[in-house]
Amino acid sequence: MKPKIDNQYPIIEPIANRWSPRAFADKAVTKEDIMPLFEAARWAASCFNEQPWRFKVGIKGEEMYDKIFNTLGEFNQNWVKTAPVVVLVCAKKAFDHNGKPNAHSWYDSGQAVANLATQATANGLYLHQMAGFDRDKAEKEVVKDDHYDAICVFALGHLGNPDQLPDQLKEKEEAKQQRLGLDQIVSFS
Given the rule CB under 6 A, which residues bind ligand FMN?
19-20, 76, 129-132, 152, 177
Answer yes or no: are the C-beta atoms of 26 and 64 closer than 8 Å: no
Q: Which residues contact 154 (CB under 8 A, 6 or more apart)?
A: 86, 87, 89, 113, 127, 128, 129, 130
- Taking the complex as a whole, how short is the minimal distance between the CB of residue 96 and ligand FMN, in angstroms? 25
How are the residues of the chain apportioned to helix, strand and coil, as percentages rounded to the nearest 5? 40, 20, 40
User: CA–CA separation, 126 vs 90, rounded Å?
Assistant: 20
- Taking the complex as a whole, how short is the minimal distance between the CB of residue 24 and ligand FMN, in angstroms? 12
- Taking the complex as a whole, how short is the minimal distance between the CB of residue 188 and ligand FMN, in angstroms? 26
Please, which residue, 20 or 164, has the CB nearer to ligand FMN? 20
Please, which residue, 133 or 148, has the CB nearer to ligand FMN? 133
Task: Give the SS3 label for residue 153.
Answer: strand
Please, which residue, 40 or 130, has the CB nearer to ligand FMN? 130
Q: Which residue is nearest to ligand FMN (CB)?
A: 132
- Taking the complex as a whole, how short is the minimal distance between the CB of residue 146 and ligand FMN, in angstroms? 23
